Structure 1
Amino acid sequence: MTAADTIGQVSADKVLVIACGMIAREVLAVKERLDLAHIDLTCLPAEFHYYPERIPPAMDRAIAEAKADGYRHIFAGYADCGTGGMLDVVLERHGVERIAGPHCFAFYQGGAAFEAVADADMTAFYMTDFLCRQFEAFFIKPLGLDRHPELAADYFGNYEKVVYLAQTDDPDLDRVAEGAAERLGLAYERRFTGYGDLPAALGEAAKRPA
């Protein structure tokens, strides 16, 4: 989904976004909406959602490779995402900025809106469009709930509700999110967030090549 046509020969106005695979579709949607044709996208594996310690070294390598390919303008399509500040250490060393906030659940809602509900959502299990599409692959099968549904209470017993942060209005995804809440024995709430702070972050990053 990225990279120069010829290694080492990248147009000076290009911006490379190195993003979490969980937000790839959304980055591309914002790119099209804002007509940011000079943005290229590459992604680190979505499964790093489970292994945040892998994000900083992978980002370090990805930035180094991008610079070797000739990219002068790079933006990280990540929030902190559970790295405990270690992602920022890598980005600061390379002079690369990222999306503000602790995780995608925050920037989808918008920073201020997330802070307003953070305490009330302490027992919320968040889902996004991506997580609805990948619910079986990301949660049910890895946790063995397809074979042992009774384990749901062990895994999700500390949650009280599923909160679906919807980027789009898609009845199929709505049904997945509602079904997930029922399957996990949790209350259900849908919040339409759209892309939250993502358009502003990408729009700002895209201004850099003057």
Structure 2
Amino acid sequence: MVPEPLLIIACGALAREIRAVIALNGWEHVTLTCLNAQLHNTPERIPAAVREAIRAMRPVYGRIFVAYADCGTGGRLDAVLAEEGAERIDGPHCYSFFSGVDAFARTAEDEITAFYLTDFLARQFEAMVIKPLGLDRHPELADMYFGNYEKLVYLAQTEDPALTEKARAAADRLGLTFERRLTGYGDLAPALFDAAAPALERTPEPVS
């Protein structure tokens, strides 16, 4: 039986990982469209952007899965998805589902002074963190933004020494201690599999 076509509407910060899962599983019935990752810096705009994408594609796709967590929308994204008949990945943010939602919840209270990076944010640290905060022009503001943080935790999706060095350099730039944790894809791959092929045997997540 040919699976029903599925559209995944994702945060651009997850594009590389989602494409890898799709390719590994050979999901020809799955289409990925990504919204601008810069929405991370204005989370109040995420619900409307997701709604617009759903409504634009609903005439083509009966099944739509949203590859966002709550992402700072304060439940407003969930309200949109309830109205539009779509589901999303569980968790408050990508750091949570990459770590595993349950595992992250157990450590979150003890890590209130941790600043997190993913593979994407390690690659795009300048574009996603430094420039939006104006630290490229006013590096003296770093203490104002990050003075209450103690460490930078790099949640690594892959084994990539170059990315690890980028994350370590980011920690040094912010004056934070550095910690790396290899999380893999966490809850992301199972969530995608449940949306795309719930009746099929799971393929292990990509590793690199």
TM-score (norm 2): 0.91
Instruction: Trace 1:93-172 onto structure 2 (pairs within 5 A).
Output: 93-172=83-162
Kept in 2, the 8 Å contact 1:14–1:209? The answer is no
Does residue 71 (structure 1) correspond to residue 61 (structure 2)? The answer is yes
Contact 2:116 2:153 in 1 (8 A): yes
1:13 is aligned to 2:7: no
Which residue identity lines up with residue 159 of structure 1 in the other structure? Y
- 1:43 is aligned to 34
Q: CA deviation at 1:12?
A: 7.1
Q: Is the Cα contact below 8 Å between 1:63 and 1:74 reproduced in 2?
A: yes
* Structure 1 CA distance for aligned equivalents of residues 12 and 46 of structure 2: 11
Give the conservation status (yes or no) of the 8 Å contact 2:3–2:29.
no
Name the amino acid aligned to 1:155. Y
Question: Unpaired segments of 5 or more residues in structure 1?
Answer: 1-10
Cα-to-partner distance string for 1:70-115 (whole Å, 9 max, x where unaligned): 1011000011111111111111111111000111000000011101
Q: Tell me if 1:31 matches 2:16.
A: no
Greater than 3 Å deviation, 4+ residue runs: none
2:82 alignment counterpart:
92
The one of 6, 9, 13 equivalent to 1:22 is 13
Distance 1:115 1:143 in 2: 28
* Distance in 2 of aligned mates of 1:166 and 1:22: 14
SS, match of residue 19 in structure 1: strand
Query: What SS is found at the alignment partner of 1:16?
Result: strand
Unaligned runs of 5+ in 2: 201-208
CA distance in 2, matches of 1:49, 1:18: 15
In structure 2, do the counterparts of structure 1 residues 156 and 117 end up closer, same or farther at CA, with 3 Å as the change threshold? same
Tell me the CA shift for residue 208 of structure 1: 6.4
Count of residues in correspondence between the two structures: 199
2:139 maps to a residue whose letter is: P
Partner Cα distance (1:125, 1:37) in 2 = 37
| Cα distance in 1, alignment partners of residues 3 and 99 from structure 2 | 33
Which residue of structure 1 aligns with residue 203 of structure 2?
none
Asked if structure 2 preserves the Cα contact closer than 8 Å seen for 1:12 and 1:72, the reply is no
Which residue number corresponds to residue 184 of structure 2? 194
CA contact (8 A) 2:69 2:90 kept: yes
Give how far 1:143 is off. Answer: 2.4
TM-superposition CA deviations, 1:22-47 (whole Å, max 9, x none): 11111111112233221100011101
State the Cα RMSD in Å.
Answer: 1.7
Q: Is this contact kept in 2: 1:20–1:78, CA < 8 A?
A: yes
What is the CA distance between 1:169 and its match in structure 2?
Answer: 0.9
Offset of residue 183 of structure 1:
1.1
CA distance in 2, matches of 1:45, 1:176: 22
Does the Cα contact within 8 Å between 1:79 and 1:100 map onto a contact in 2? yes
Identity across aligned pairs (percent)? Answer: 58
Q: Is the 8 A contact 1:73 1:208 kept in 2?
A: no
The CA deviation string for residues 182-201 of structure 1, in whole angstroms up to 9 with x for no partner, is 11111111000111101100
